[in-house]
Amino acid sequence: MSQFRIAIVGAGPAGYFAAQALQNSETEDRTFAIDMIERLPTPWGLVRSGVAPDHPKIKTVSKVFEKIAAVHNFRLFGNVELGTDISMSDLTSRYDAVIVATGSSLGRKLGIPGEELKGSLSAADFVPWYNGHPDFAGLEVPLDCDTAVVIGAGNVAMDVARMLALNPAELDPTDTADHAIAALKKSAMRRVILCARRGAEHAAFTSPELRELPKLEHTNVLMSAAEVEAALLRVGAEPEKDVKNNLGAMELITQKEPTSHERTLEFEFLLAPIEIHGRDRVEEIVLGINKIEGNKVISTGETKTIKCGLVISAIGYSAEPIDGVPFAQGKVDNNDGRVPHSNIYAVGWAKRGPSGVIGTNKSDAAEVVKLLVDDLPVLPKNAGDVSDLLKSHSIITQSHWEKINIAEVSAGEPLGKPRVKAVVKEELLKHAGY
Ligand code: NAP
């Protein structure tokens, strides 16, 4: 019987699914001891700080994570930062293998003039702000304007636009951070315009997200019927399944009778950001008007200016580099998850970039763990862990996390919320009993 010690860095979906795949790969002759290392005092990654709070069903996957964490061979080392508290070489020299599951946390930049103005934010900062991530609780989000422009046509842009366009009272029964609900309630925001640089058929939204829009109770959702019809003509009789589903869902949006709600969420296609203007803060955005000729999206040379006080770009992410791990093109430099000439592996967005839904990480992690298991005979035999390095450190173990979880859930109960998140690290540690 051999036991292998595996460190997983990052307690998000990809990390948990990697742990599950390891648990599923145990045999009579082979067991794994899994240590999951997480920078924050809370686990669950994007399920806690990314998924939109008005989508509680998606968050139920955390029950799967807790089952994985309850297995005897799993230990959580929360509040432990790689690069500060421990190094990658501490891990690679103590564990048989290290799985990097640190995701993609940096927002891609538009690279246009005015992007640094106050009121121009990346979804990579705005989303964790409304989700109560401790690093973003103090973010300045100027909501004292009536119009916001969201750049991008993916599900993150859709989440951001919807969160801004909902009546904030609708967020009361959710786990949105208290500071965000208070700021949104005080806000003058009434018009949110999502701008896609290509046509409706090119949008990266998924159809379930589009299908919920006509059901919003306090927001008028506007989309040009002419653009959706034009997209349907462009894609012809046999479009790809996802495109067909998206355009079908968009048709339903265009067919909905406009209501008199004071809040609107508007979709604009074929508009590419060129420049943001403003003296001390965002005052307007200039967008280039595109058109489609043949299969190509090209500029018409004309522009459109939208007066707004907030611009949020949701145009993708890249991974934050880690000392001791090769990075290329915004992710870990890897071959199908293997980092050549090392005992390091990558899973999730750190491996493949920011694509796919939470469930995608399950099959992805299982494939990487299969390669890791194949490699076991040639991996170094290391028999240590990080406990000796963290003797005086406030580690959040699974039982500490359970205390935090209970404190947050109990605080939510009387308010009809799934939880009230603690957004300050010290408060989280206090909940944990430190
Ligand atoms: P995404 O799906 O890749 O969408 C990025 C969008 O940004 C695309 O529409 C892209 O347009 C646009 N874009 C890129 N560069 C641009 C630029 N310079 N100017 C204007 N637009 C630009 O990325 P995401 O929205 O960040 O989502 C990441 C992943 O998480 C996706 O797989 C998504 O489905 C998933 N997710 C899922 C959910 C859910 O299931 N509810 C929620 C959130 C996220 P082009 O196509 O023209 O490049």
Q: What string of DSSP letters covers 2-38?
A: EEEEEEEE--SHHHHHHHHHHHHT--SSEEEEEEEE-
Rounded Cα gap, residues 14 and 345, in angstroms: 12
What pLDDT was estimated at residue 33? Answer: 97
At 54-95, the pLDDT tens digits run 999 999 999 999 999 999 999 999 999 999 999 999 999 999
What pLDDT was estimated at residue 219? Answer: 97
> Mind spelling out the 3-state secondary structure of 164-203?
HHCCHHHHCCCCCCHHHHHHHHHCCCCEEEEECCCCHHHC
Rounded Cα gap, residues 361 and 18, in angstroms: 8
Rounded Cα gap, residues 145 and 147, in angstroms: 6
User: Could you tell me what percent of the chain has a pLDDT over 90?
Assistant: 97
Rounded Cα gap, residues 398 and 404, in angstroms: 10
Helix, strand, coil shares of the chain, percent, nearest 5, are 35, 25, 40
- What's the sign of the alpha-carbon dihedral 300, 268, 359, 324? positive
What pLDDT was estimated at residue 338? Answer: 98
Q: Quick one: average pLDDT of 166-185?
A: 98
Strand 106-107, strand 317-318: pairing = antiparallel
The domains found in the chain, sorted by start residue, are 2-105+318-396 (3.40.50.720), 109-315 (3.50.50.60)
Specify the higher pLDDT residue, 237 or 427. 427
pLDDT exceeds 90 at position 260: no
pLDDT exceeds 90 at position 366: yes
Q: Give yes or no for residue 206 CB within 6 A of ligand 1.
A: yes
Q: Determine contact, residues 312/123, Cβ cutoff 8 Å.
A: yes
Atom 21 of ligand 1 has which residue's CA nearest to it? Answer: 152
Please identify, by atom number, the ligand 1 atom nearest to the C-alpha of residue 108.
15
Please identify, by atom number, the ligand 1 atom nearest to the C-alpha of residue 203.
9
What pLDDT was estimated at residue 166? Answer: 98
pTM: 0.97
Q: Give yes or no for residue 330 CB within 6 A of ligand 1.
A: no
Query: Sorting pLDDT into bands at 50, 70 and 90, what band is 380?
Result: confident
Atom 26 of ligand 1 has which residue's CA nearest to it? Answer: 316
Q: Give yes or no for residue 338 CB within 6 A of ligand 1.
A: no
Q: Give yes or no for residue 315 CB within 6 A of ligand 1.
A: yes
Q: Give yes or no for residue 198 CB within 6 A of ligand 1.
A: yes
Give the chain's length.
434
At 101-128, the pLDDT tens digits run 999 999 999 999 999 999 999 999 999 9
- Token pair for residue 28? 């009579």
pLDDT exceeds 90 at position 268: yes
At 305-358, the pLDDT tens digits run 999 999 999 999 999 999 999 999 999 999 999 999 999 999 999 999 999 999
